[in-house]
């Protein structure tokens, strides 16, 4: 009984903002007489969803897989670099700022080169997703690993803590909350990376649908695909949010 | 009692100033600390109490003078890994149970030792935290957490136990009860203890000797003439009032 009440509450939280947006959307289109070729009505979008359901679903799934794989690769690479920088601080001193400065390169500028270098469409999309996802994960994880207060460092020093053991037993679990913050930020970034790659050089994926439907003025389909891309990001975000709650159980304790 | 007069730490002409400063924090300090005694460092804040504790811990190197522990230099003594440490702010790791937190020194130190179950149980009982073993730090009150930190500092059976303002943030009642429990436990586990406190009463309750920092170059030692085995009832005795008054006189000249 109580659970179903919570469920109703949860649905209300989702449905009411959606309804508000849809109603406002319809009002604005009518009030400003916006051409349906530019901005379709919510009903047109719904119809586009219905008639293109299979292709929207399969292409969304493809983009989801690409961005998720990219995210995992980014996680592994960030982890390895953070570990190397931790065990060899001299490398961190020289290379940390170089690694971070790569973040300044806009993904849109990098995308054509990556697509050109990597012949496989699928792989180039995964790589671009990984590049965009890498920085938030790397920076937040690196900060988490290095954030111990002075007294704790003194304690570790006095009990003769070794670099390796301190990393595995203290710094790594300590950095998990920061790592998840990075993963959650990257979960939407990686979708963006994959979609940018699909704009530039691909014949499938949700980004390709957005691009081609715009080309043919199928605005209903364009909007449906845009909504799908949002949902992909939301699903990835929710996966990490769920894992975070499970793994970082101590935050909820009182 | 005879054992207690044996010198454990010998400090001679010790001075300290920060590398980028000309101002001395400690100057020409001479001090002997007896084996298996409890020593309280008291004095105004900013006078160098914590600095001295950090020098003894080997976290800071003296600018001049010498310091020997058991006839060894700090580095030699540190290699044996026999220092216990607790302070107000060092972390108890929120992702580990109380038991795992207490086990931390064995998990992270180079010595590869194993925690003694017997000592663990002794400490948990002596510090009255037996039931917290499987809990996480966030589930404990401030007083319980300080008790657990004491257990972690003592679990390696250190020759030297250093406590930096370990109890100052606790309410009076909790603190007093911890101090007496700790003193009781110390009677069983003999080790040399040096603690920094800004509270005179705490120092009288806990210490055999009080090291009074009057100035950066003037540390006087006051021997607390109270029984080895102290109970909370001592707080209302004349002897206790007399000792506290004596220390006050010592401080204010």
CB contacts of A254 in chain B (<8 Å) are 138-139
The alpha carbon of residue A244 is apart from the nearest alpha carbon of chain B, in Å, by 13
How far off is chain B from A129, nearest CA to CA, in Å?
Answer: 32
Q: Are A159 and B86 in contact (CB under 8 A)?
A: no
Interface of A with B in 113-172 (CB under 8 A): 148-149, 151-152, 154-162, 165-166, 169-170
CB contact under 8 A, A160 and B111: yes
Q: Please state, in angstroms and rounded to a whole number, the distance separating the CA atoms of residues A220 and A172.
A: 47
What is the reported pLDDT for A12? 78
Nearest partner of A109 among A210, A196, A205, judged by Cα: A196
**Higher per-residue pLDDT: B5 or B37:** B37
C-beta atoms of A158 and B162 within 8 A: yes
Provide the pLDDT for residue A143.
Answer: 95
The reported pLDDT for the residue numbered A4 is 66
**Residue B130 pLDDT:** 92
pLDDT tens digits, B140-153: 998 999 999 999 99
Q: How far is B130 from chain A (nearest CA, A)?
A: 19
| Cβ-nearest to A174 among B54, B87, B93 | B93
CA of A23: how far to CAs of A30, A44, A222, in Å? 11, 14, 19
Backbone φ, ψ for residue B230 (5° rounding): -110, 135
Mapped onto helix, strand or coil, the DSSP state of residue B253 is coil
Predicted pLDDT of residue B216: 72
Tell me which chain A residues have a C-beta less than 8 angstroms from the C-beta of B138: 250, 253-254
Alpha helices in chain A (DSSP H): 2-32, 42-51, 53-87, 89-101, 107-117, 121-145, 150-158, 163-166, 172-200, 206-215, 219-247
pLDDT band at A151 (very low <50, low <70, confident <90, very high): confident
Tens digit of pLDDT for each residue in A57-99? 999 999 999 999 999 999 999 999 999 999 999 999 999 989 8
pLDDT of A145 reads 95
> Which residue would you say has higher pLDDT here, B12 or B46?
B12
pLDDT: is A8 or B232 the higher one?
Answer: B232
Mean pLDDT within A145-150 = 90
Closest by Cα among B223, B247, B220 to B47: B220
Q: Which residue has the tokens 């059976």?
A: B157
- Choose, out of A152, A158, A246, A250, the residue to mutate when testing the contact with B (most B CBs < 10 Å): A158
pLDDT at residue A58 in the model = 96
Of A3 and B128, the structure prediction assigns the larger pLDDT to: B128
pLDDT of residue B230: 85
pLDDT tens column, A152-182: 899 999 988 999 999 999 999 999 999 999 9
Beta carbons of A253 and B136 less than 8 Å apart: yes
Instruction: State the nearest Cα–Cα gap between A171 and chain B, in angstroms.
Output: 10
Query: How far apart are the CA of B52 and the nearest CA of chain A, in angstroms?
Result: 14
Nearest CA in chain B to A149: B90
Q: Do B108 and A152 touch (CB under 8 A)?
A: no
Residue B4 has pLDDT above 60, yes or no: no
**Predicted TM-score (pTM) of this structure:** 0.85
Q: What is residue A51's predicted lDDT score, i.e. its pLDDT?
A: 94
A104: helix, strand or coil: helix
Q: What pLDDT does B102 receive?
A: 96
A33 Rama sector, left if φ>0, alpha if ψ -120 to 50, beta otherwise = left
pLDDT tens string B82-126: 899 998 777 789 999 999 999 999 999 988 789 999 999 999 999
The three state secondary structure string of B93-109 is CCCCCHHHHHHHHHHHE
Strands B218-223 and B64-69 turn out to be unpaired
Closest residue in A to B163 (Cα–Cα): A155
- What is the tens place of the pLDDT at every residue in A115-141? 899 989 899 999 999 999 999 999 999
Q: Are A66 and A125 in contact (CB under 8 A)?
A: yes
pLDDT at A67: 96
**Chain A residues inside the 8 Å CB shell of B103:** none
Cβ-defined contact of A159 to B83 (cutoff 8 Å): yes
CA distance A145 to chain B (A): 14
The tens digit of pLDDT for each residue in A205-254 reads 999 999 999 999 899 999 999 999 999 999 999 999 999 999 999 888 87
Asked if pLDDT for residue B3 goes beyond 60, the answer is: no
Nearest to B138 among A156, A169, A254 (CB): A254
pLDDT confidence of residue A36: 85
Spatial CB neighbours of A2, under 8 Å, sequence gap ≥ 6: none
Confidence of residue B2 (pLDDT cuts 50, 70, 90): very low
Residues B66-83: tens digit of each pLDDT: 999 988 998 888 887 689
Please judge whether A165 and B107 are an interchain contact, meaning their C-beta atoms are less than 8 angstroms apart: yes
Q: Does A247 touch chain B (CB under 8 A)?
A: no
Indicate the Cα dihedral angle A18, A23, A28, A31, nearest 10°: 180
Average pLDDT across chain B, whole number? 88
Find chain A residues with C-beta within 8 A of B111's C-beta.
160
Confidence of residue A28 (pLDDT cuts 50, 70, 90): very high
Question: Least CB-CB distance to B139: which of A155, A160, A253?
Answer: A253
Tokens of A13: 């939280």
Q: Under an 8 A CB cutoff, do A158 and B57 touch?
A: yes
CA distance A153 to chain B (A): 8
Predicted confidence (pLDDT) per residue in B204-250, tens digit: 999 999 998 887 777 888 888 888 888 888 888 999 999 999 888 87
Which residues does B contribute to its contact with A (CB < 8 Å)?
54, 57-59, 78-79, 81, 83, 85-91, 93-96, 104-105, 107-111, 136, 138-139, 156, 162
Task: Tell me what percent of the residues of chain A surpass a pLDDT of 70.
Answer: 97
The dotted CATH code for B1-82+193-253 is 3.40.50.300
Once rounded to an integer, what is the mean pLDDT over residues A51-55? 95
DSSP for residue A103:
G
Give the whole-number percent of chain A exceeding pLDDT 90. Answer: 70
How far apart CA B133 and CA B151 sit, in angstroms, is 11
- A58 Cβ partners below 8 Å, 6+ apart? none
Instruction: Please list every residue in chain B whose beta carbon sits closer than 8 Å to the beta carbon of residue A148.
Output: 91
Residues of A in contact with B105 (CB under 8 A): 159
pLDDT at residue B1 is higher than 60: no
Give A155 to chain B, closest Cα distance, Å. 6
- Residue among B53, B69, B86 at smallest CA distance from A155: B86
């Amino acid at each position: 009984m109580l659970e179903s009440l919570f469920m109703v509450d949860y649905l209300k939280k989702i449905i009411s903002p959606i309804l508000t947006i849809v109603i406002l959307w319809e009002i604005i289109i009518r009030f400003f007489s916006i051409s349906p070729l530019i901005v379709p009505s919510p009903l047109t979008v719904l119809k586009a969803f219905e008639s293109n359901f299979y292709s929207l679903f399969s292409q969304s799934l493809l983009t989801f897989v690409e961005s998720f794989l990219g995210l995992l690769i980014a996680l592994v690479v960030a982890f390895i670099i953070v570990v190397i920088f931790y065990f060899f601080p001299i490398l961190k001193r020289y290379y940390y700022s170089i690694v971070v400065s790569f973040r300044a390169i806009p993904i849109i500028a990098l995308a054509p080169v990556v697509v050109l270098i990597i012949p496989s469409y699928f792989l180039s999309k995964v790589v671009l997703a990984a590049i965009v996802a890498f920085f938030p994960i790397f920076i937040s994880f690196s900060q988490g690993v290095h954030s111990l207060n002075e007294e704790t460092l003194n304690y570790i020093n006095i009990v003769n803590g070794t670099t390796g053991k301190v990393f595995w037993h203290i710094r790594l679990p300590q950095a998990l909350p920061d790592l998840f913050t990075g993963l959650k930020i990257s979960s939407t970034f990686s979708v963006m990376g994959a979609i940018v790659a699909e704009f530039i050089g691909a014949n499938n994926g949700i980004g390709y649908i957005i691009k081609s439907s715009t080309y043919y003025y199928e605005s209903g389909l364009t909007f449906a695909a845009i909504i799908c891309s949002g949902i992909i990001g939301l699903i990835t975000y929710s996966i990490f949010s769920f894992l975070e709650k499970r793994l970082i159980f101590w935050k909820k304790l009182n | 009692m005879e054992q207690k007069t044996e010198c454990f730490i010998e400090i001679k002409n010790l001075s300290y100033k920060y590398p980028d400063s000309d101002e001395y924090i400690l100057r020409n300090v001479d001090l002997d600390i007896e084996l298996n005694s409890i020593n309280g460092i008291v004095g105004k804040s900013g006078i160098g109490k914590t600095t001295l504790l950090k020098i003894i811990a080997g976290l800071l190197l003296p600018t001049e003078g010498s310091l020997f522990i058991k006839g060894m230099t700090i580095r030699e003594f540190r290699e044996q890994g026999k220092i216990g440490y607790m302070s107000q702010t060092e972390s108890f790791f929120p992702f580990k149970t109380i038991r795992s937190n207490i086990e931390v020194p064995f998990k992270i130190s180079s010595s590869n030792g194993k925690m003694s179950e017997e000592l663990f149980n002794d400490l948990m009982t002596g510090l009255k935290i037996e039931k917290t073993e499987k809990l996480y730090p966030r589930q404990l009150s401030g007083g319980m957490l300080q008790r657990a930190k004491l257990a972690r500092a003592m679990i390696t059976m250190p020759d030297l136990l250093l406590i930096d303002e370990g109890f100052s943030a606790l309410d009076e009642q909790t603190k007093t009860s911890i101090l007496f429990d700790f003193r009781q436990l110390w009677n069983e586990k003999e080790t040399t203890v040096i603690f920094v406190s800004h509270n005179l009463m705490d120092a009288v309750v806990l210490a055999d000797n009080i090291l009074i920092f009057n100035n950066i170059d003037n540390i006087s030692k006051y021997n607390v003439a109270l029984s080895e085995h102290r109970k909370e009832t001592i707080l209302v005795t004349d002897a206790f009032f007399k000792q506290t008054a004596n220390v006050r006189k010592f401080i204010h000249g």
